[in-house]
Amino acid sequence: MVGDSLVSVLRQLRSGYELRPKRFPQSVVLCGVRDVRDYRLHSGGEIITGGSAFNIKAESLTIGNFSPNEIRRLYEQHTAETGQRFEDDVYPYVWELTRGQPWLVNALANEACFKIEADRSRPVTRDLIYQAKENLILQRVTHLDQLADKLKEPRVRRVIEPMVQSSDSTGAMLANDDDAQYTIDLGLVRRGPAGLEVANGIYAEVIPRALNAQMQMNFEPLQRTEWYLDGSGRLDMSKLLEAFQQFFRENSEAWLNGYEYPEAGPQLLLQAFLQRLVNGGGRIDREYGLGRRRTDLLIQWPYPGGVQRVVIELKMVRGSPERTISEGLQQVEAYMDAVGPSEAHLFLFDRRPGVSWQDRIFRRQASTAIGRAVTVWGA
């Protein structure tokens, strides 16, 4: 409830307070994502704060997320009742995907145990949880659909766009604490050691997919995964990224014109391009957050000889391109060390006024401080 309807309810509760218990409820519970004192209500041209409209509150209770141990205990209840066990690596993976968000924790297990794998003699595996996660995202179940709808709100966009854009504007976002706190209260983000972070792994996938869903649909008739496979069934990343470079040069202005998240548009366009192609059998893991000044993508593509793992780091050019490349190589090296990929790429978007396409489009080989090969791309 918002606006005048919420003001009306709060005023009725306040006026009925003195009539308790004979002519008004003795106790009322309001359940929402924010404490009522934090609301800023607009009514008849005036701003009414939640505290002044409703100063008869007895207590505020916060229902937090599950801890890793509580996730295990919850799932073990299923095992006790049905005999179907969860493999040990499921628990840390569920924590990574959900960070204990109660709806997500339950929805993953429900999808895995009752919709995908009903045979109680078969254990729930990490791969099964991954498939459950993909199903929830693709089905756009109510919870995730509502989350996607929140991304349209200006207050949410002001927080999320710099994160997707690989911005370093942590200080600015934390200074505008009302927007940040609102987005935290919605459960979209949380405060991490390097600034604001997307709240959990599932939201980290839902956000860019929701923002570039139309882009993915537009790519469908234009691109085919088989165009970018080599003779061994691996993705030819050089051919793929070269094709995106050319597409971006020819079409980015038209595709990004009027886009709701214009500053993050280039990164989202590349992610849509990759998602459309990788949907044919692989997966993309994403990591980003305010203060990190980059977006890390890990493509995992199964082929007859194993699994191809490709790191792609996205950065916006801020100031000197060479300094951005140097900084990016250090960051790529750290991410490569964490995930052990087959190959790595650093993709730069240069949106500075006056820079020609001839200077923006390039490809070069580089290496990190300890000699790891990285292909650097510009657009």
> Where are the chain's structural domains?
3-53, 68-139, 208-378
Task: Give the number of other Cβ atoms within 10 Å of residue 67's Cβ.
Answer: 11
Instruction: Check if the beta carbon of residue 139 is closer than 8 Å to that of residue 102.
Output: no
User: How far, in Å, CA of 110 to CA of 30, rounded?
Assistant: 28
Q: Which amino acid is at 126?
A: R
User: How far, in Å, CA of 331 to CA of 197, rounded?
Assistant: 17
Retrieve residue 356's tokens: 């020609």
Retrieve residue 184's tokens: 């935290």
User: How far, in Å, CA of 144 to CA of 138, rounded?
Assistant: 10
pLDDT at 66: 94
Whole-Å CA distances, 41 to 44, 52, 96, 156: 10, 10, 36, 17
Retrieve residue 120's tokens: 């109680």
Retrieve residue 168's tokens: 């370093």
pTM of the model: 0.72
φ, ψ dihedrals at 190, nearest 5°: -145, 165
Q: For residue 314, list its beta bridge partners.
A: 295, 347
The fold adopted by the segment(s) 68-139 is: Helicase, Ruva Protein; domain 3 (1.10.8)
Stretch (H or E) spanning 364: strand 362-367
Q: Which amino acid is at 288?
A: Y
User: How far, in Å, CA of 260 to CA of 154, rounded?
Assistant: 10
Instruction: Check if the beta carbon of residue 189 is closer than 8 Å to that of residue 198.
Output: yes
In the chain, which ranges are continuous DSSP H helix? Answer: 3-16, 50-53, 68-82, 90-98, 102-110, 126-139, 142-150, 154-164, 170-175, 177-185, 201-211, 213-219, 237-256, 265-278, 321-339, 357-360
Contacts (Cβ under 8 Å, ≥6 apart) of 54: 10, 13, 14, 36, 37
Contacts (Cβ under 8 Å, ≥6 apart) of 340: 309
Find tokens 């307070």 and name the residue: 17
Retrieve residue 270's tokens: 């590349």
Task: Give the number of other Cβ atoms within 10 Å of residue 250's Cβ.
Answer: 11
pLDDT at 141: 67
* Angle ∠(184,293,271) on CA atoms, nearest 5: 85
Helix axes 237-256 and 265-278, enclosed angle (nearest 10)? 130
pLDDT at 29: 86
pLDDT at 49: 55
Percent of the chain's residues with pLDDT above 70: 85
| CA atoms within 13 Å, Cβ hemisphere of 9 | 11
pLDDT at 280: 67
pLDDT at 291: 46
Ranges of residues in the chain whose predicted pLDDT is under 50: 168-172, 174-175, 290-291
pLDDT at 167: 52
Contacts (Cβ under 8 Å, ≥6 apart) of 135: 111, 115, 116
